[in-house]
A and B are shown apart, each in its own frame.
Chain A
Amino acid sequence: MSNRSIVSIADYSREKIQNLLDMAKEFEKAPNRRLLVGKVVATLFFEPSTRTRLSFETAANRLGARVIGFTDPKVTSSSKGETLKDTIKMVSNYADVIVMRHKLEGAALYASEVTDVPIINAGDGSNLHPSQTMLDLYSIYKTQGTLENLNIYMVGDLKYGRTVHSLLMSMRKYNPTFHFIAPKELEMPDEYKLYCKQNGIKYIEQTDFTEDTIADADILYMTRVQRERFTDLMEYERVKDAYILHANMLGKCRENMKILHPLPRVNEIEYDVDDSKHAYYFEQAQNGLYAREALICDVLGITLEDIRNDKTTTL
């Protein structure tokens, strides 16, 4: 019902993306503002996700809103068999915006259809995670100064990695060249390769992950190769160390290259990389705060203009 909900950003126009990036930039300059005083933000985590929840709740708090919600569905009525619709309807009576994470795909879209309160999708199963995509875009924009014409290398689990799929789709209007570096079992699914072809996105697939193969990258987007994704554990043992980034692989890389990772990392980025000027994953997580402040404001109808005119910053 509400057209201000953010369920997916895959189809956002360049203008809309730029607008959100500019909003995030304002929040980076001054994250603490009183823009949402008197507003209540509900964070409904039907599936636990500490990182995403803390980021959203921090965003809401820094904007002066109050936060209600739950962190674990076991304590809610959904464990008693209440439908998602009923839970959303009930919370809609209390909150001005609902941030929700759910294990079922399409849950956020459905929620947005049963209430007038704007919904922000904080992840629905392996389907979509627009706030992660927004912070990825902001991190790329901030470190490269543009989203245009970049060489983006995606490494690791490209089959199940929802963040790489979302990023791929939302970059389509910016003429990127993708390099997909993954073991055979975890290669980019055909539907996304087809998507690239249909949208004229250039991509190169490779299995080698070496100093030379990443030399032309502007962005190195690392993901975790998880043991449980493999049907053949021999195969896992064979490839598990092949997609680990070491500091000694950064010798030939571009000056502007930045390493992103949605976190949590396990071992796919060696700790010796953390001190490199190319490491950006912790800043990336911090950018999530600004991106989420922008998203919360956007669904509540607060514009870039409003933020620029805002005099409530408490720096």
Chain B
Amino acid sequence: MEKRKDLVVAALESGTVIDHIPTDKVFTIVQLLQLDKCTDQVTIGNNLESAKFGKKGIIKIANRFFSDAEISQLAVVCPNIRLCIIKDYEVVEKKQVTLPDELDNVVRCANPVCITNNEPMKTVFYVTDKVNGIMKCRYCGKEQHIENIKLV
């Protein structure tokens, strides 16, 4: 019997496709969106050929649609990914993830003496420079760069 050379991944009937993920960020996103706890079908591909980026990652999640808050979390991790919302096998909406003006409870403040690191409270960051990825803590005023951030 001839060996099968490919496994067909079924097209999504309904759900979200996250595309153009940098290869080193795929599992961060898995963690961030808690896909390890997801009971619906999840397909994760990494190091796939991409005309634009060389290599990329892709995640397909059946029956999941993400809130704006979840999407802004993604923006912090990788600012250039794209979300396709699928309904009835059709792409009904494409969302280019961009840094929002404000990040509610996404980023942890790097300042150890900031009140947010010492009280059970939510963090708020204002994105002060979208081009260079600079964000400022609402509470202590300290700025940090998107590459150095830790998530809450």
Are A110 and B139 in contact, with the CB atoms below 8 A? Answer: yes
Query: How far does the Cβ of A108 sit from chain B's closest Cβ, in whole Å?
Result: 9
**Told that A104-B115, A105-B140, A109-B115 touch, could you supply 6 new A-B pairs with CB distance under 8 A?**
A85-B120, A104-B118, A106-B137, A106-B141, A110-B115, A110-B116
How far, in whole Å, are A106 and B136 apart by their CA atoms in the complex?
12
Interface size bucket, A side?
10 to 19
A297 to B74, CA, bound (A): 46
B140 touches A85 (CB 8 A): no
Given A105-B140, A105-B141, A127-B140; A110-B121 close (CB under 8 Å): yes
Total residues of chain B contacting the partner, CB 8 A: 16
- Chain A 176-197 residues near chain B, CB threshold 8 A: 191
Task: Give the complex CA separation of A224 and B66 in angstroms.
Answer: 53
Residue numbers in B under 8 Å from A83 (CB-CB): 119-120
Contact A106 B114 (CB under 8 A): yes
B138 at the interface (CB under 8 A from A): yes
| Contact A110 B113, CB 8 Å, known A127-B140, A127-B141 | no
Which of A84, A105, A191 is within 8 Å of B113, CB to CB?
Answer: A105
A112-168 contacts to B (CB < 8 Å): 124-127
Let me know if B111 is at the binding interface, CB within 8 A: yes
A69 CA / B31 CA spacing, docked (Å):
46
- Residues B91-124 near A (CB distance < 8 A): 111, 113-116, 118-121
Q: Which residues of A contact B140 (CB under 8 A)?
A: 105-106, 125, 127
Task: Label chain B's interface by main secondary structure.
Answer: loop
| Residue on B nearest A84 in the bound complex, by CB | B119
Q: How many inter-chain contacts with C-beta < 8 Å in the A-B complex?
A: 45
Assembled-state Cα–Cα distance A106/B118 (Å): 11
Question: A88-108 CB contact bits vs B (8 Å, 1 = yes)?
Answer: 000000000000001111110
Rounded to whole angstroms, the CA-CA distance of A110 and B117 in the bound complex is 12
Complex formed: what's the CA distance from A124 to B121 in Å? 17
B residues at A contact (CB < 8 Å): 111, 113-116, 118-121, 137-143
A191: chain B residues within 8 A (beta carbon): 143
Q: Could you say which of A84, A85, A106, A124 has the most chain B C-beta atoms within 10 Å of its C-beta?
A: A106
Question: Which A residues are in CB contact (< 8 Å) with B143?
Answer: 191
Which residues does chain B contribute within 8 Å of A110, judged by CB atoms?
Answer: 115-116, 119, 121, 139
**B119 adjacent to A105 (CB under 8 Å):** no
Whether the Cβ atoms of B111 and A85 lie closer than 8 Å is no
Q: Report the separation of the CA atoms of residues A191 and B138 in the bound assembly, to the nearest whole angstrom.
A: 17
- Cβ contact within 8 Å between A103 and B119: no
CB distance from A230 to the nearest CB of B (A): 20
Q: Which of B111, B115, B121, B137 gathers the greatest number of chain A CB atoms within 10 Å?
A: B115
Q: What are 13 sample pairs from A and B whose C-beta atoms fall under 8 A apart?
A: A85-B119, A103-B113, A105-B114, A105-B115, A106-B137, A106-B139, A106-B141, A109-B138, A110-B116, A124-B115, A127-B140, A127-B141, A191-B143
User: When chains A and B are docked, how far (Å) is the Cα of A103 from the Cα of B118?
Assistant: 11
Q: Which residues of B contact A105 (CB under 8 A)?
A: 111, 113-115, 139-142
Find A107's partner among B115, B120, B138, B141 (CB 8 Å cutoff). B115
| Distance to closest chain B CB from A7 (angstroms) | 10
Which B residues are in CB contact (< 8 Å) with A104? 113-115, 118
Q: Contact mask A204-231 → B, CB, 8 Å, 1/0?
A: 0000000000000000000000000000
Inter-subunit contact B115/A106 (CB<8 Å): yes
State the CA gap A124–B114 with chains docked (Å).
Answer: 10
